[in-house]
Amino acid sequence: MWHIAALDFLSFLGFGCAFLFLVKGGCRSCLSGVRAVFGALTVFSLLYSTALFLQWSNITAVFNPVEDLIGALLPMLWAFFFYAFLQEVSAQELRLGEKSLIESERKLNTLMDNLPGMAYRCLNEKTWPMVFVSDGCKDLTGYETKALMGHGGISYGDLIHEDDRDFVWKQVQEDLERRRPFQIMYRIHTHSGDEKWVWEKGIGIFSETGETIALEGFITDITEQKLADQKLQQAHEELEKKVEERTAEITEAYQKLEEAYQKIQEDHEKIIQLERHAIVSRITSTLAHETRNSVSAIGGFAALLKRKHQGEPELGRHLDMLLDESKKLEQLIEGILKAAHKTEPHFQNVNPNELLDELKALTQEKARLSNVKIKKQKQLSSESIFVDKESVLAALKEIVMNAVEASPKNGEVLMKIDQDEEWVVISVTDQGQGMDEQTLRRIYEPLFSTKKLSAGLGLSFAKELIEAQNGYIRCQSAIGEGSTFNVYFSTAKKNKKR
């Protein structure tokens, strides 16, 4: 029986260690009642182990009745203790969980109450019926939470601005179909009638079958931010407008500056032209004065010789030519002096047809020597022009002579008369090579010429004579197409109206 005694001795040692554990405070974390019961059971079990050891070791049989009683009660007491202990531990864990849940709920409520907006849970319907809203609902909408959760008869959808309702519904449904969170900005009407801009972010809650159970999210007031954005946009637009206006002013000022610069350039060119004209006018006037007496003397001596040698036909013919040329020179000198305002012009009514006949006669010899034909287009009737005939003949002669020189051999120069309202237009057209635009702009400049043996005074002199008759000259030319000079003179009828 010694081995049973050894087991009883080991049980004794185990209960002894448990007793020492209790005495040393190893069960401090347990409740005081649990510790007391545990201590009593440990002492009771220690006594039972002692009695059992004495019985099986045959030391004494005095404790046999005690051992039998304790051996019957001890398993039930330990089973009851462990059941009660487990119940106490479970209850303590439940109390701790409840306390933690209450704390979590408190923190959640504190967080909800301090959010700058309203947290919600609602159904996916157009009226957006609310299942839950946080206390921020009051500050956001002006309504109490009960009013929006079905108790007050007000749906959140009724607060959304009429112009934004369809947009909000379509945007949310589109994001729900794609299973993604939604973010939208829209307007609402508050309880006081004010209009607010709100920003909402939410997500759909779906069932296992994919149906939308509810929506959860957060709504906050962004009215101040929206107003600030609008003011910023307005300021930006005003700034853009001012920039555009300023740019327009700068552009206009630049255009004016460019126009002024162009005008200065034109005036500079005009000054140069005037200086050239003045120089040429002084030179031609001086030459005219110096040569007029000599030409008159030549004509006088030619007339004297003709009278003296009347019986010599051959000499008379040459003297007649000398007289004709001297008269032409006198007419040219007279025209130069009139253009330079050195002599008074003699204005009169002149028939353009007769004028062209005389012009053809004056230039015919030059054309014949150049092998060029001068053709005059017939004009049955034409109004008279009021001009100084000698000056006009001198000017037109320069134009025709220039056309003859520009025409090729066997070429033709055409003279014709047209009517343009109250203007009579005398045109001279050649069959020359024509002129480019750069040359065309300079043909009336004094001392400018495209010909090698020319002083460049002909067209400049002609222009001055024509303008002295209150007329003007225009030229049309192109390379390979010849040139046409149109000379405009006012009709005698127009001059009477003046």
Q: DSSP string spanning 26-83?
A: TTTTS-HHHHHHHHHHHHHHHHHHHHHHHHHTTS-STTHHHHHHHHHHHHHHHHHHHH
Burial of 199 (0-12, 13-18, 19+ CB in 10 A): middle
**pTM summary value:** 0.39
Residue 172 lies in a domain: yes
pLDDT computed for residue 162 by the predictor = 94
Q: Which of 344, 378, 413 is the endpoint of a domain?
A: 344
Within a domain: 253: no
212: Cα separation from own chain's centroid? 46
Please give the pLDDT value at position 128.
92
**Residue 321 sits in the same domain as residue 446:** no
pLDDT of res. 80: 61
Say if strands 347-350 and 385-388 run parallel, antiparallel, or are unpaired.
antiparallel
pLDDT at residue 79, as a whole number: 63
Q: What is the pLDDT of residues 464-484, one digit of tens each?
A: 888 888 889 999 998 888 899
Residues 339 and 354 in one domain: no
- β-pairing, 182-189 vs 372-376, is unpaired
235 found inside a domain? no
Residue 5 pLDDT:
46
b/e per residue 136-156 (b: at least 16 CB within 10 A): bbbebbbbbbebbbeeeebbb
In a domain, 86, yes or no: yes
Strand partners, 483: 477
**Residue 228 domain-assigned (yes or no):** no
Same-domain check for residues 358 and 470: yes
Query: Is 372 among the domain residues?
Result: yes
Question: Does 38 share its domain with 78?
Answer: yes
Q: To the nearest 10°, the Cα dihedral for 11, 14, 20, 24?
A: -150
What DSSP assignment string belongs to 395-444?
HHHHHHHHHHHHSPTTEEEEEEEEEETTEEEEEEE--S----HHHHTTTT
Considering the domain boundaries, does residue 249 fall inside one? no
Statement to judge: residues 461 and 354 lie in one domain: yes
How many distinct structural domains can be found in the chain?
4
User: Which residue range forms the structural domain that includes residue 208?
Assistant: 115-221
CATH number of domain containing 408: 3.30.565.10
- Tell me which of 176, 198, 221 is where a domain ends: 221
pLDDT for position 454: 43
d(CA 163, CA 158): 12
For residues 402 and 484, state if they share a domain.
yes
Task: Quickly list H helices, 115-164.
Answer: 137-141, 145-148, 156-159
The answer to whether 431 and 482 are in contact (CB under 8 A) is: yes
Q: What is the pLDDT of residue 29?
A: 47
- Token representation of residue 139: 């500050």
**What pLDDT score was predicted for residue 117?**
87
Residue carrying the six token digits 């032209």: 273
Residues 335 and 386 in one domain: no
- Residue-wise pLDDT tens for the chain (498 aa)? 444 445 444 444 544 544 454 454 444 445 555 556 566 666 666 666 666 666 666 655 555 666 566 655 656 655 665 666 667 667 777 877 777 777 666 666 666 666 688 999 999 999 999 998 888 888 899 998 888 886 667 889 999 999 999 999 999 999 999 999 999 999 999 999 999 999 999 999 999 888 999 999 999 999 999 889 889 999 999 999 999 998 888 888 888 888 888 888 777 666 665 555 555 555 555 555 556 666 666 767 677 777 777 777 777 777 777 777 776 666 666 666 555 555 566 788 888 888 898 888 888 888 888 899 999 887 755 788 888 888 888 889 889 988 998 899 999 999 999 888 788 999 999 998 888 888 888 887 765 666 543 444 568 778 888 888 888 999 999 888 889 999 999 887 665 555
Predicted local confidence at residue 273, as pLDDT:
59
Same domain, residue pair 352 and 483: yes
Same domain, 98 and 85: yes
Domain boundary among 111, 138, 162: 111
Whether 356 and 443 share a structural domain: yes
Tokens of 443: 């043909």
Residue 53 has a pLDDT of 61
Tokens of 347: 């204005």
